[in-house]
């Protein structure tokens, strides 16, 4: 029975990709398995290896994206209209976010990536279970450098 459950996971991921219904990552028993299943589904669609795919978290719907809900950002504000801006350390709920997988070669070059910061995404508020790391756009003009984002311990948690 366990083997059958595991075998159906990529099929469920493919079905969710066709649906706009968001998944609450914090409510899953094994969110890492869900993320892996989405990766497998996209690798199958693109006929590429798993290692070639890069995970992205965005606030706008994209074709082939997986909708997730229940996320909140701590130490910064982020919206579809604005890049990440540092705040006083408070937290805010994020709207429905979308997990997308892209081929590593289609990512921006290092010179274009200066406006991005790596932000950890944790399973819970204790930050004891890292699910993945997301590259988020940052507002360099208002002091949100990649180093400042790291020093301020900005993170996204599944609430």
pLDDT in tens, the chain (159 residues): 455 555 556 655 665 556 678 999 888 888 999 999 999 999 999 999 999 999 999 999 888 899 999 999 999 999 888 899 999 989 999 999 999 999 875 544 444 445 889 999 999 999 999 999 998 999 888 878 999 999 999 999 997
What Cα–Cα distance (Å) separates residue 51 from each residue in 81, 86, 99, 119? 31, 32, 17, 20
The first and second tokens of residue 17, run together, are 């990709």
Residue 52 sits at φ, ψ, to 5 deg, of: -80, -10
pTM of the model: 0.79
DSSP 18: H
Listed residue (23, 3, 4) closest to 13, CA to CA: 23
Domain hosting residue 138, numbered range: 2-158
Q: Specify whether the CB–CB gap between 115 and 137 falls below 8 A.
A: yes
Query: Which pLDDT does position 21 carry in this prediction?
Result: 83
- Coil, strand or helix at 142: helix
Q: Is there a contact between 96 and 69 (Cβ–Cβ < 8 Å)?
A: yes
The enclosing domain of 38 has a CATH number of 3.10.490.20
Q: At what angle do helices 2-18 and 31-46 cross, to 10 degrees?
A: 60
pLDDT at 18: 60
Q: How many domains does the chain have?
A: 1
Q: Give the strand order in the sheet containing 23-24.
A: 23-24, 66-69, 97-103, 53-58
């Amino acid at each position: 029975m366990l083997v059958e459950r595991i075998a159906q996971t990529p099929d469920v991921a493919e079905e969710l990709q066709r649906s706009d219904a968001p998944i609450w990552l914090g409510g899953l028993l094994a969110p890492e398995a869900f993320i892996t299943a989405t990766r497998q589904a996209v690798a199958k669609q693109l006929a590429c290896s798993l290692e070639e795919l890069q995970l992205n978290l965005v606030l706008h719907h994209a074709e082939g994206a997986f909708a997730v809900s229940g996320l909140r950002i701590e130490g910064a504000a982020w919206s579809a209209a604005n890049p990440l801006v540092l705040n006083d350390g408070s937290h805010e709920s994020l709207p429905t976010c979308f997990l997308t997988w892209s081929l590593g070669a289609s990512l921006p070059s290092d010179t274009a990536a200066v406006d991005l910061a790596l932000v950890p995404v944790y399973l819970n508020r204790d930050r004891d279970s890292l699910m993945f790391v997301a590259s988020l756009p940052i507002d360099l003009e208002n002091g949100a450098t990649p180093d400042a984002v790291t020093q301020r311990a900005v993170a996204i948690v599944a609430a």
